[in-house]
Structures are given as structure tokens and as C-alpha cells.
Structure 1
């Protein structure tokens, strides 16, 4: 049985000479007005609950459980129907990936932490200083100092005036100087 939030209606679009897009009237959309895209609020609530549960497990230092719970949230966000707004999916994913990155870092799993930090940054570059910091920290811990420096520079460019980013950048710069 199909629910309204589980259906997709293809609307006929037209593009005029000025590249303006409009929806043509059709049997499913007699007015020709753009329809709101349905979002399943239960899925959104479940994803938010998984993120909160993962945060609770992390606070209790149950890092493996936190990783597992964040993974469930990531899977649920990625399973959203294709017609739901991609911005919504990215907003959910950047937080989940960033949090799972931190949980991986807490158990010393630097490669997985790095992969999740990068995924978080891919979802949201600007205004995501924690993910940039986590990427730099993972690279530093893996001994990839030049890459860490470059990642932190990018983070400072996108993340603004974050004190944690600046502090880690300084640490990496000092480590690079000692290496020379």
C-alpha cells in the first residue's frame, strides 16, 4: 500500500528562451504550480533520535556502540527516496559523519575517522569546523603532516576563525619544522 510520502509524480517541465523553468498543467497537477516535495517526518525524527542516541553512547564512552548507532542513522538518511530534498539529506549526513568520525578517533581508528571527516566535509564545507579539525587531527596522528597542514588551511578558509583549528594548525606547523 502506497502512502503519499512514498510516491513520486513526474511533473512536465518547460524551459523558455530566457531559461526560466515552469511546470506545465497535467492531470496530476492541473494548476501547473510547483508542488511541495513530501518529506517523511517519521524518518527525520528517527534519524535525529539515532544521532542523539549515538551522542549518548559517546558520552558514556561506549565508542563502538556510538559508531554502530551513527552508522544506522547514516544508512537511514542515505535510504531517503530520491525525490526528497538533497539539502535535507546533506544536513543529516554531515552531522552523522562528523560524529562517527569523532567516535572512530576515540578508539584510535584514524583511517575510518579520516574517511568520515572527509564525508562530512563533502556534505558541508562551510560552517563545519569540527569536521575540518577532525580531518587534520586524523592526518596528523597518521603522520601525514603535510596533508594535515593543507587540510587545516582549507578548514580555516571555510571554517573561519575557529580556535581549535588554529591551535591544531600551529601544532602541525611545529611538527613539520622539527621534521626539517
Structure 2
């Protein structure tokens, strides 16, 4: 392993020769150490014990999520997306010592809500990406599969949409919204197959 000269520039560690935080020429990345440094600086030297949660961040996330929900209920979907995105950014920026499960739970809910707002705006690809993120974070949650099914259906990928909805129904067999969406998707799939014959 070769030795790389380091330098501090704009409060970040960079390679001294090329002044890059991620340097392909030196084959080095200082992103993680810079991220840790940023988190440690934010505590003003008061690093909490492992597992401690800073309540202000949780309050900010909850406030932004509720703001997004209010916009969504008022059918102001673009504003809801902005609020959910702000909350997602705050959740992603949680310090490294906080429990990862907390961030995963927050992100799953926020991505699911933002996916719903994208669906309302018929932004199917964005809705799909967020739904995939929900499933990655919280696989057994039926809402993620419901959003994925709706997004796939909107993209014209009916068979995959039906499969996603069926999987969601396996996690929550009593879900009326998934049952309704599945019935509509299966009807549309049958109609499409009849047209193709």
C-alpha cells in the first residue's frame, strides 16, 4: 500500500498532491473520515455515549414529516415532496453513534410518504425508486410493496405490479387498499393480454 500525503483544505482531509477528497489518481477516498469529523465537530466536543439520540434532530424530522403530511392531505403534492425530502436529508445526516434502526425506521416512513406524493403527481420512476428504498429498509412492511405495485402499474409494468401487490398482501392479508389495487391491476392485466391476442 502506498503512502499518500494528506492536507487539510476547507476543513476536509484531501490528498496533498491533487487536493481531492476522493482522488482516483492516488486511489484514495477520505469521505468517511471527513464525515466522522463533521459529526464530531457538531457536538462541540461533547460526544454522547453510544446509542444516545439527540432529541432536536428527531423533533426536526417529525416536524418536517408532519408538514409533508399536511401538504399531502391538502393535495399540494410538490410541497409535500419538498418537506419529505428535507426530513429525509436530516435523517440521513444522523450522527454515526445513533442507533441505525432509528434512522432506518424514519427513512422507511419518509420514503413511503414521498413515494405516495410522487404517485399522486404521476412521477412513476421517482415513486418506484422510493418504494424500492422502503422495501430495502423494511421488507415486511406491506406499504412499501403497495407503493411499488402502484408505481410499476403506472409505468405500464403490469405483471410486475401485480406481483408486488401480491407480495404486499402476503405481509398484510387484511389490507383493503392492497386488495383493491390488486383487483384493479389484475383486471387491467387481463384486458391488456386480451388486446395482445
TM-score (norm. length: structure 1): 0.78
Alignment check: 8 A CA contact 2:145 2:164 kept:
yes
Unaligned runs of 5+ in 1: 6-34
**Residue 47 of structure 2: aligned partner:** 4
CA distance in 1, matches of 2:172, 2:135: 11
Is the counterpart of residue 99 in structure 1 residue 113 in structure 2? yes
* Native 8 Å contact 1:125 1:158 kept in 2: no
Give the whole-Å Cα distance in 2 for the aligned partners of 1:51 and 1:75: 12
1:173: Cα distance to partner?
1.5
Equivalent residue, structure 2, for 1:10? none
Question: Which residue number corresponds to residue 156 of structure 1?
Answer: 169
- Residue 110 of structure 1 corresponds to 124
How far is 1:36 from its partner? Answer: 5.4
Superposition deviation, residue 140 in structure 1: 0.8
Q: Deviations over 1:81-133 (max 9, x none)?
A: 2221111001111110011111111111111011111211221122x323221
- Is the contact made by 2:91 and 2:106 (CA closer than 8 Å) also made in structure 1? yes
- Do structure 1's residue 134 and structure 2's residue 147 form an aligned pair? yes
Moved over 4 A (4+): none
Out of 104, 108, 123, the residue aligned to residue 90 of structure 1 is: 104
Aligned 1:158-173 pairs, distance under 5 A: 158-173=171-186
- The alpha-carbon deviation at position 55 of structure 1 amounts to 0.8
Deviations 1:24-46 (CA, angstroms, capped at 9, x unpaired): xxxxxxxxxxx652111111111
For 1:59 and 1:170, the matched residues in 2 are separated by 25
Aligned residues, how many? 150
Alpha-carbon distance between aligned partners in 1 of 2:184 and 2:75, rounded to the nearest angstrom: 26
1:37 and 1:130 mapped to 2: Cα distance?
28
- Contact 1:98–1:131, Cα closer than 8 Å, also in 2: yes
Cross-structure match for 1:144:
157
Q: CA RMSD in A?
A: 1.5
Counterpart in 2 of 1:27? none
